[in-house]
Amino acid sequence: MEEARRTRDLALQRMEKAAHRFKQENPGTQAEHVLSLTMVELAEKLKEGSLSPESVLYSYMGKALEVTQEVNCVVDFIHGCEDQLQKLKKQKEKGLLYGIPISIKDHINCKGHVSSAGMVKFLGQVKEEDSVIVQVLKSQGAVPFVKTNIPQTMINYDCSNLIFGQTLNPLNHQKSPGGSSGGEGALIAGGGSILGIGSDVGGSIRLPSSFCGLCGLKPTGNRISKLGVVSPIIGMKSVTGTLGPMARDVDSLALCMKALLCEEMFRLDPTVPPLPFDEEVYTSSKPLRIGYYEGDGYFQPSPSMKRAIQQTRKLLQDAGHTLVPFAPPKIDYVVDELFTRGIFSDGAAHLVDCFKGDIVDPNLKSQFNTYRLPTLVKRILAIILKPIVYCTEFIAKWRKLRLDVILCPVLGPAFNHGYAGKLFAATSYTNLYNVLNFPAGVVPVSTVTRADEEELKHYRGHYGDPWDKRLKEAVEGAVGLPVAVQCVALPWQEELCLRFMKEVETLTHGTKRNV
């Protein structure tokens, strides 16, 4: 562990030297200007040559160092990015992400670096090649430059491990940035990265996006290659994990998906269906039939979560879309049976095994202790058929109402530190769509008001049990923090999901600023 921390510190020093050297050699670089551009604007300026890839990379390097000093989100510097940049400039073809610096979640392999998963077991295992997603990003001209922090094991939605410590939320240091892609959430929200790649098994892209006020997309499980990713969990049968983008706006997510869904990815991983990005669906403006629900009947939403849905629903209705009430069937069964048992269909044996020679992070303790129970192991028999039956039932209900998409809550606002590990079941709003394997994205639409905070005092939850009490404590003290909604489409319809997210973003943008 000491060694790993030393390696990180040296990497950050190396990054600082590189950024400092560039600044001295190029005193005229307008870092503030570079950092203020949206990703689409940045891509445009890089392509036409009015900004150099160096000025962009080193501006983001400098900002990422500032952000990580404040919130502890960067765990490694991908030092090969400087050489990659020089090679990139010599290429005739400019990819869709030419010169865009990208941050990568810790457990996604980068050649010459460790993917720790926040666990001692994986330290010292230097990867010999890039994961497929990193290879594809590079082929499109993107420049991966840092790796970011995660919670130990990544099955927790906080962001702390005993190797690299706790990552803070840049919007409020008393709050968690969410997880497990929490380092990504913190770095992008702090302005130190413009596009990040996270992963999502129960909400790990969507929860940090919600907690940090970002846009994030969890695609259908196999739309993007997962080859070259480290995980301490094996045997997930009824839950589908996936990689996806996180950024400050929906257009950035769309551009990233468009870049990833290319011949190079289909060649490197033939198990990924060769479906290129459908621009026509993304840019369409035909009215949508939108199912919606304010609560799932399992975990009562916080006042701001509920208000976010009500306001967004009204804006969509006023804009000419049709809104139809929808209630997801049997949600308690989904969380208890399909999600929790489905993640650990090997009885969590492999996970427990990964902890040999390791210490459990305090934020994970209450959750981890249940994985060691032999009775639980006996009860968890690999569930393979149940989710298929449930999924069929869910789609039948969707079809009957002739829906295009669904609008529903995402957990938020950001939790106070230490609560995520004690509220595993509160991820019901996100993990439903891992069980169903539907694409789902998150868009910030508002901020917590004093009225929300006042109403929270009367929050009882559906059951009035310790979990409900904990949720209330977890979200307290969040005035001014972002509140998001979740947008969902049927499998393989990422473009429609993004189109719906864009609609929500456009409509709420007008109202968001003056809440």
Biggest CA-to-CA distance, the chain: 65
Name the catalytic one among 45, 63, 94, 105: 105
Q: What does the alpha-carbon distance between residue 457 and residue 464 come to, in Å, rounded to a whole number?
A: 13
Check whether 203 is labelled as a binding-site residue: yes
**Cβ-based neighbours of 19, under 8 Å, separated by 6 or more:** 58, 61, 62, 65
Name the catalytic one among 55, 115, 139, 180: 180
Name the catalytic one among 131, 204, 238, 302: 204
105 is catalytic: yes
Check whether 225 is labelled as a binding-site residue: no
Q: What does the alpha-carbon distance between residue 103 and residue 113 come to, in Å, rounded to a whole number?
A: 14
Q: Which tokens hold the place of 457?
A: 């005092």
Check whether 201 is labelled as a binding-site residue: yes
> Would you call 115 exposed, middle or buried from its count of C-beta atoms within 10 A (0-12, 13-18, 19+)?
buried
C-alpha dihedral sign at 170, 106, 13, 84: negative
Check whether 15 is labelled as a binding-site residue: no
Check whether 236 is labelled as a binding-site residue: no
What 8-state DSSP symbol labels residue 272?
Answer: S
**Cβ-based neighbours of 308, under 8 Å, separated by 6 or more:** 409, 445, 446, 483, 484, 485
> HSE of 281 in the Cβ direction (CA atoms, 13 Å)?
16
Q: Which tokens hold the place of 498?
A: 């993004």
Q: What does the alpha-carbon distance between residue 346 and residue 383 come to, in Å, rounded to a whole number?
A: 10
204 is catalytic: yes
Check whether 446 is labelled as a binding-site residue: no
Residues 501 and 250 sit within 8 Å (Cβ to Cβ): yes
Q: Per DSSP, what are the bridge partners of residue 175? A: 416
378 is catalytic: no
Binding residues: 154, 180, 201-204
Q: Which residues belong to the annotated binding site for substrate?
A: 154, 180, 201-204
Q: Which residues are catalytic?
A: 105, 180, 204
